[in-house]
Amino acid sequence: TTYVYSFGNGAADGDATQAELLGGKGANLAEMAQLGLPVPAGFTLSTDCCNDFLSSGGNYPGKLREQVQAALATVEGIMGMKFGDTENPLLVSCRSGARQSMPGMMETVLNVGLCPATIPGLIKKTGNERFVYDAYRRLIMMYADVVMEKAEGVEPIDDMGIRSQLDRIMEDLKEEKNYINDTDIPAEDLKNLCDTFKKTVREVLGVDFPDKPEDQLWGAIGAVFKSWNGRRAISYRRIEGIPDQWGTACTVQSMVFGNMGATSATGVAFTRNPANGENRFYGEWLPDAQGEDVVAGTRTPNPLNKDTKNDQNEHLPSLEEEMPEVYAQLYEIRNNLEKHYRDMLDIEFTIQEKRLYMLQCRVGKRTGPAALNMAMDMLEEKMITEKECVMRVKPSQLDELLHPIVDPAHEKTSTVIAKGLPAGPGGAFGQIVFTAKDAVEWHKSGKQVILVREETNPEDVEGMRAAEGILTARGGMTSHAALVARGWGKCCIVGAAMIKLDFKAKEMRIGGKVYKEGDVVTLNGSKGLVYEGALKMVDATENPRFKAFMTIVDKYRTMGVRTNADSPQDTLVSLEYGAEGIGLFRTEHMFYGGDSEEPLFLLRKMILSDTEDERRQALEELFPFMKRDIQATLETMDGMPVTIRLLDPPLHEFVPHGRIHQEELAKALDIEVDDVVRRGEELQESNPMMGHRGVRLGITYPEITEMQVRAILEAAAELIRQGKNPLPEIMVPVTCDVKELIFAKAITDRVYADILKTFSLDSIDYKYGTMIEIPRAALMADKMAECADFFSFGTNDLTQMTFGFSRDDTGGFMADYLDKGIIDADPFQTIDQDGVGQLIQYSVERGRKTRPDLKIGICGEQGGDPASVAFCYANNLTYVSCSPFRLPIARLSAAQAAL
Ligand code: ADP
Ligand code: MG
Ligand code: MG
């Protein structure tokens, strides 16, 4: 087996496509070498080598030593130096590098090969004693820490390891002698320091520092491999979902020295600005420094050029000013690399006595706005194609573009006072209030408020609307507050359990601290973080770039996108965000604090009716409101399908609870208050989400279905008369058997015939279908399709019933399930493809067997989640539907799934 891959002198055994084998670093070094860039020669030990090494309990595979010897000899030839030689010694670095970048999570050792035998030769050759001892003290510090102490891949939990002891010794020396920077320490002191370091190593670790170059090399290679199983690396892999079996490569590379004095330097750069995407070369450098000094933050780095100057570094000279020829060369490399990789890169370089060397390049991380701007710029520069442009922005990055966010710089310097679930995106600050009523009143008087509640219920809707942000102590990602907030694109944090509320006193307690009504807090709804006081916001203003990008996205999207919207306002917003129809219009929306109390009153009247006649009369009165509401939305969405769901929630939700409200209602209806109370008790259910709701209401009270269907079809008929093109889709919720559908269809047919006659119409272009949200309905999909033109997966309820997780009560255990790895992701946020996904797949197949042209969509919250959208695409769904503000994310995810 080949374990070793060489690079250098304009050639290489591998290239950038081989990250799997060579790690990202090794693969890109090979690529840069092939491009003829000044890359110090070296070789990479493959990830296979690492895996064999680790699985054999730390033994190097046979033949490895020979391969390394041969590769090292090649490097020696190129460099004209010899590893371990007393006259002309070659030094190397041993660098970790996984398939996917894991910044700072694994180890790298520099200056390997420096020892009492090679030191004099190097001093003689460079004439720079100070530099040589600086390199040696760095080697001892790194090697003692990485190779000797962490030899078993176990990192100490606190900082009192050998590294910090050596750090302390050096700091003490600087203090004693009044040296401000590391670079001020003269050769003599560095030499003594190295002796002290070696003594300390022996005392603390009980072994001698290895002074044989061979031993150092193999020790360092082993440590790099073992760092794959270091504590940090393992936890990073868990977070990022990187498989344990990838392993890391180890690149052994000739050292070049940025610490040889004022004409040497080291630096890092981005080919474009990673924060905003501007097409400007962006970076930092440090003269007389090595490797990690720039990122370590021990010295303020210098700006690369005039574009990189800021308040902190403007007094420091730029590389452009200090070494114009080197900068010009670097700038040209930057241009060539971008042209070659056709993306923004993150690069590392070192200058040894005015000679430039490239040490690393990789595709750079970037913010959402930067991703968008770069993609569009590169498209305009003809660097990338439209398809590539679409793939360059992650759906999750769009979130950052659509909501004002808390200024990340300000967040860094502020303390988090509470944490919850990130339920509604963006940022918001305001004065805290504890009731919806106060929220509305304070808002009216021009104040900016944050509504703080234990949890929210439909009666809080107005207050939620009025608030800048919502914060609740309980509830999960699909709790009422979260759903509503996301629907409006409003900042919201739910389930912040450490908040203790006292409504009487109008205050909340977090830890020991009390916050009173009127105190100001800031919410970061994208991360679920709460801060004290008002933090700065960064505005995400309407961006023409964004619109142009989305137009391109839609060219490559094949699956439809619709929105969940209940009001003409939401509908208008959704059109702006690219909705092609409504996938879920909830008819009960009008009872939750719209512009009039009347519909709710009439519904309550219907609920409190004793006989069918009374009920019909109440429904008769409710009818015009229902029709008007539906008509307004059909009209706004003219020519596009609107899926209208028949009444879904259990009726008890609408019966008032408190005594005062009950008395009020009794008076208004001219009945006994006891009747209101009694009816409330009758309707009480111990498990209302699985109780008397959805189609079951229409089975018991067919007149409710009749009224709603009439409202829908009459609204449509009137619009047709006005020359419009309404496309209503009647959707029956909570079904589990085709007979339910047949029952409601009979009512629909009757009403339909009636309306055609009344309006003298030949037809109304409507569809009749059902939600698939009960596992039994999914299993019976072939039957269900006999009486349905369409299915819509209600993945909230389907998930709830498939898991047996009550969606309003997951707050108590979801965090534990995630922490302990029982489940990988909250199934209410992203479709559980393994379980719930099987039901979806099965129903799509069975449903289309019965009816090949069956339209199938999804209208759960997951419709705006990128992974779920991709799943829907893969399963041939006709469309996904999500809240208006998530539409761009759904459109982009759908386009990327199709590419
Ligand atoms: P990381 O993956 O943590 O960035 P690197 O392997 O890139 O670790 O190395 C850390 C630092 O050491 C980088 O700044 C890199 O440029 C520098 N470095 C690594 N190898 C060499 C070398 N052969 N010559 C000079 N500097 C090096
Ligand atoms: Mg690096
Ligand atoms: Mg449902």
pLDDT digit string (tens) for 137-169?
Answer: 999 999 999 999 876 655 555 556 898 899 999
Ligand 1 pocket test target in 39, 256, 348 with most atoms within 8 Å of CB: 348
Mean model confidence pLDDT for the chain: 92
For residue 389, which phi and psi values (nearest 5 degrees)? -55, -45
- Both 641 and 587 in one domain: the answer is yes
Q: Residue 858 CA to chain centroid, in angstroms?
A: 22
User: What integer pLDDT is reported at residue 297 of this predicted model?
Assistant: 58
Choosing from 220, 235, 254, the residue where a domain stops is 254
pLDDT for residue 65 is more than 80: yes
User: What integer pLDDT is reported at residue 159 of this predicted model?
Assistant: 55
In a domain, 494, yes or no: yes
Instruction: Out of 141-155, 649-663, 870-884, give the one with best mean pLDDT.
Output: 870-884
Report the separation in Å between the CA atom of 719 and the middle of ligand 3, taken as the mean of its atom positions.
29
- Both 451 and 533 in one domain: the answer is yes
658-672 burial: b if 16+ Cβ within 10 Å, else e: eeeebeebbeebeee
Size (the chain), residues: 899
User: What integer pLDDT is reported at residue 328 of this predicted model?
Assistant: 98
State the DSSP H helix or E strand holding residue 213, giving kind and residue range, or none if neither.
helix 213-226
- Residue 93 Cβ inside 6 Å of ligand 1? The answer reads yes
In a domain, 549, yes or no: no
- Residue 289 Cβ inside 6 Å of ligand 1? The answer reads no
Which of residues 398 and 899 earns the better pLDDT score?
899
Report the separation in Å between the CA atom of 794 and the middle of ligand 3, taken as the mean of its atom positions.
5
- Both 528 and 563 in one domain: the answer is no
- Both 12 and 83 in one domain: the answer is yes
Integer-rounded Cα radius of gyration of the chain? 34
- Residue 135 Cβ inside 6 Å of ligand 1? The answer reads no
CATH of residue 98's domain is 3.30.1490.20
In a domain, 381, yes or no: no
CATH of residue 429's domain is 3.50.30.10
CATH of residue 298's domain is 3.30.470.20
Catalytic residues, which ones? 480, 859
Q: How many other CB atoms are found less than 10 A from the CB of residue 456?
A: 25
- Both 249 and 269 in one domain: the answer is no
- Both 314 and 425 in one domain: the answer is no
In a domain, 398, yes or no: no
399-445 per-position pLDDT tens digit: 778 778 888 889 989 999 999 888 787 899 999 999 999 999 999 89
Question: By the 8 A CB rule, do 270 and 282 touch?
Answer: yes
Choosing from 366, 388, 423, the residue where a domain stops is 366
Percent of the chain with pLDDT strictly greater than 70 = 97
Report the separation in Å between the CA atom of 370 and the middle of ligand 1, taken as the mean of its atom positions.
26
Question: What would the two tokens of residue 123 be?
Answer: 């001093």
- Both 198 and 318 in one domain: the answer is no
CA 858 to CA 559: how far, in whole Å?
A: 12
User: What integer pLDDT is reported at residue 727 of this predicted model?
Assistant: 98
Place of tokens 């995407």: 277
674-714 per-position pLDDT tens digit: 999 988 888 888 888 899 999 999 999 999 999 999 999 99
CATH of residue 576's domain is 3.20.20.60
Residue 127 Ramachandran class (φ > 0 left, ψ -120 to 50 alpha, else beta): left
- Inter-CA distances, 450 with 218, 436, 440, 471, Å: 59, 10, 11, 7
- Residue 108 Cβ inside 6 Å of ligand 1? The answer reads yes
- Both 35 and 120 in one domain: the answer is yes
Q: Return the residue whose CA atom lies nearest to atom 15 of ligand 1.
A: 291
- Both 330 and 224 in one domain: the answer is no
- Both 612 and 500 in one domain: the answer is no
pLDDT for residue 30 is more than 70: yes
- Residue 95 Cβ inside 6 Å of ligand 1? The answer reads yes
With cut-offs at 50, 70 and 90, classify the pLDDT of residue 367. Answer: confident
- Both 819 and 893 in one domain: the answer is yes
The mean-pLDDT minimum among 226-240, 404-418, 704-718, 739-753 falls in: 226-240
- Both 505 and 640 in one domain: the answer is no
With cut-offs at 50, 70 and 90, classify the pLDDT of residue 296. Answer: low
Question: What is the strand order of the sheet 513-516 is part of?
Answer: 499-502, 507-510, 513-516
Concatenated DSSP letters of 303-355:
ESSGGG--TTTTTSPPHHHH-HHHHHHHHHHHHHHHHHH-S-EEEEEEEETTE
Looking at the 3D structure of the chain, how many domains does it have? 4
In a domain, 677, yes or no: no
User: What integer pLDDT is reported at residue 201 of this predicted model?
Assistant: 94
Percent of the chain with pLDDT strictly greater than 90 = 72
813-869 per-position pLDDT tens digit: 888 888 788 998 899 999 999 999 999 999 999 999 999 999 999 998 899 899 999
Report the separation in Å between the CA atom of 199 and the middle of ligand 1, taken as the mean of its atom positions.
27
pLDDT for residue 590 is more than 90: no
In a domain, 668, yes or no: no
Q: Return the residue whose CA atom lies nearest to atom 1 of ligand 1.
A: 104
Choosing from 254, 281, 315, the residue where a domain stops is 254
CA 708 to CA 714: how far, in whole Å?
A: 10
CA 718 to CA 83: how far, in whole Å?
A: 89
In a domain, 552, yes or no: no
Which of residues 476 and 41 earns the better pLDDT score?
41
Task: Tell me the residue range of the domain where 276 lies.
Answer: 265-366
Question: By the 8 A CB rule, do 899 and 870 touch?
Answer: no
Q: Return the residue whose CA atom lies nearest to atom 14 of ligand 1.
A: 291
